[in-house]
Amino acid sequence: MSPASGHGRTLQAVIFDWAGTLVDFGSLAPTQIFVDAFRSFGIELSLAQARGPMGLSKWQHIRLLLDDPALALQWRQRTGHAPTDADVDAIYAHFMPMQIAKVGQYSQPIEGAAQVLAWLRGQGLKIGSCSGYPRQVLDVLLPMAADQGIRADHVVAGDELQAGGRPGPYMALANMLALKIDDVAGCIKVDDTVPGIEEGIRAGMWSVGVTLSGNEVGLTRAELDALPATEVARLKEQAQHRLRAAGAHYVIDSVANLPEVVAHVRARLAIGERP
């Protein structure tokens, strides 16, 4: 960490991911739909495989899955040819209405999320957000989340920037522009996936990884509560390792733990540190 030339920088905004970070404990909505969509093409995809590229835009996610040698072999055996971009288009076209139909079932806020958003606003901070979800899916999710106290000042969807999505910095930076933030170091990016952490790092922001509520652990609250404490600790440690390896400055169990990170980042900014 190198000191900035000037002191007294301030925190201005927090930019959140959606599934697994603010809503949908375990990031289940996208995962199960990938499995269902691939099965409709005769391809068997495990939940663990489906989670691999999570955080990317959904088209890119499907492309990366089809690039996996085992899945590419299945595809070749089913169709007689290697998977093409046209095949990705076909799966995506099948995936989209399934995702739109199902996203509402998984729109419940993560415990503490509404309270943390209210607290951040009380601190004078702006709330940005971005998602691997396309805009059509967010159009269904956002009103449901808002009814539960989960709303952002700006939302960028995974399919609406010409420059692309994660792991590039573009969605995070688009939030900066929209919210009129004048310094990337004045932003915290919160995400539960490796590409989402890389997005924040590439944007020059403080990046916070989320473990227990997110894709890296990938369990419902009930599934997690049913596990012995030693197994929860093991899963959490694995997730922490992957998120820190991606560059996360901080790693927390869930969004409910964010206020202590905010205080820490503010103190570091005040003495001239940058991410």
- Catalytic residue numbers read 17, 58
Cβ-count burial of 232 within 10 angstroms (0-12 exposed, 13-18 middle, 19+ buried)? middle
- The one-letter amino acid code at 86 reads A
Distance CA 227, CA 225 (A): 6
